[in-house]
Amino acid sequence: AFLLHPDIRKFADLTIMLDVPFPLCNERIKMRQAHRSPDEYLSYKALLLERYVIPYFEKYRGDADIIVDNSGADWQIVKCSLQE
């Protein structure tokens, strides 16, 4: 998940980021994990998302070669910086 960090990114030939609004991301986490995770754990995951994941992706979002908007049923490429 944290492959856009410069120390790791320099080893990648291509990076693709799925761009999802963070409230929607949190809802998807709850939907996937609610059947196996207690509410306390899901609250903890939401805290980690807010504290670490959101700032990380805000900082490094622009470093991805391709950004795909995955917020709805129909995804679309919103950035592609590949050169032929």
Q: Residue 31 is encoded by which pair of tokens?
A: 């939907």
pLDDT at 6 over 70: yes
pLDDT of 84 reads 53
pLDDT band at residue 68 under the 50/70/90 scheme: very high
pTM score, two decimals? Answer: 0.73
> What confidence tier does 28 reach under pLDDT thresholds 50, 70, 90?
confident
Residues constituting the chain: 84
**Helix locations, the chain, DSSP H:** 6-9, 22-33, 39-48, 54-60
Mean of all residue pLDDT scores within the chain: 87
28-37, 40-49, 50-59, 61-70 — which is least confidently predicted?
A: 28-37
Coil, strand or helix at 6:
helix
